[in-house]
A = this chain, B = another copy of it.
Amino acid sequence: MSKYWSKLAASLEPYVPGEQPKDRKYIKLNTNENPYPPSAKVTEAIKAAANDTLKLYPDPNGDELKKTLANYYGLKKEQVFVGNGSDEVLAFSFMAFFDPNNPILFPDITYSFYPVYAKVFKIDYELVPLNEDFTLPVDKFFKDNGGVIFPNPNAPTSSFVALEYIEKILNHNKEKVVIIDEAYIDFGGESAVSLIDKYPNLLVIQTLSKSRSLAGLRVGFALGHEDLIKGLDRIKNSINSYTLDRLALIGAVEAIKDDEYFQDTRERIIGTREKVLSELNKLGFKIIPSKTNFIFISHPSVKAEDIFIRLKEEAILVRYFKQPRIDNFLRVSIGNDEEMAVFIKAVSRIII
């Protein structure tokens, strides 16, 4: 605490990202990174762009990337916003669509950045408790509110809610913006992008960090009615004209264009996930059906926190959230087959 901090700075409880310890080599299954490298076309394009043009500002609108995304998703360029990771896009969305004193709704167990955004932008919120099995209680979002946001699939629970229920929520909230945070949509869920032309109150947010193996490049995007995109642009252009550097813009374009590589790697991850879940099932783990590149698991006899600590001793990092309802669960990112074999072997020993 410093006398120089604003009241706002003093009031905050910042988000804590998954640990990135540097003391030894770990199998990193704690930040939902992709085990496969980005497309070779991405790295080639970045190498070619690392030249004298870096002296010039990037395109503040990211038009080329917007066009590429619009084309890929069958939308207009004006229906696309691009930003510095989906975290920045989410932050700008809180500013652009939610007001103080009009509580928004999001699940009690969800991406832990939401309450942080709410605090920093002074947006009130009400938590909607997930059902006992961590599915989304859809009808709890039919009440009066200042906006709705949830991840689909949800993090860290990995559960997916079908589009017919998303539509019900959209229909019950026609005067408010409903944000579907689809960071993990490419691992088996069905995207709400197909609903954009039908619902002007729908904003879909995605990222290249997970399914395009580009966590290190910081590119996220939002898709929705062009009025929503204009709202996001107003916020961005009041904070930072150029949030994406030249290399990120160019790399992102190539990542979207190389659909073959994308399809191949995401299918590999889905395959590995299903194998891992089947083996954990045999070991007696409680398993939440997953449509993400991570799984959310609990064991009937060994505490999640103990497994977490033992795994770390064995140089395997997973994520443990010490918070109500999920403090006996572990979130485990899906690595490649070799990494997951080491993980399975380690937990087999730990739970004996």
Contacts and interface: CB of A to CB of B under 8 A. Distances in A.
A233 to B, nearest CB: 7
A38 B52 contact: yes
A218 B239 contact: no
Nearest to A32: B57
A228 B15 contact: no
B20 A59 contact: yes
Interface string A174-209: 011100000000000000000000001100000001
A53 interface: yes
Contacts of A59: 20
A31 B20 CA distance: 38
A107 interface: no
Contact of A6 (B8, B85, B99): B99
Copies held by the complex? 2
B50 A54 contact: no
A37 B237 CA distance: 27
Contacts of A95: 6, 8-9, 120
Given A6-B96, A43-B50, A14 B237 contact: yes
Among A46, A200, A233, chain B packs the most CB atoms within 10 A around the CB of A46
Interface in A207-227: 209, 213-218, 225, 227
Contact of A55 (B2, B56, B214, B233): B214
Interface residues of A, number: 86
Contacts of A91: 239-240
A213 B53 CA distance: 9
Nearest to A51: B43
B55 A34 contact: yes
A242 interface: yes
Contacts of A119: 238
B2 A216 contact: no
A258 interface: no
Nearest to A36: B55
A248 interface: yes
Contact of A234 (B9, B56, B231): B9
A66 interface: no
Contact of A214 (B7, B54, B233): B54
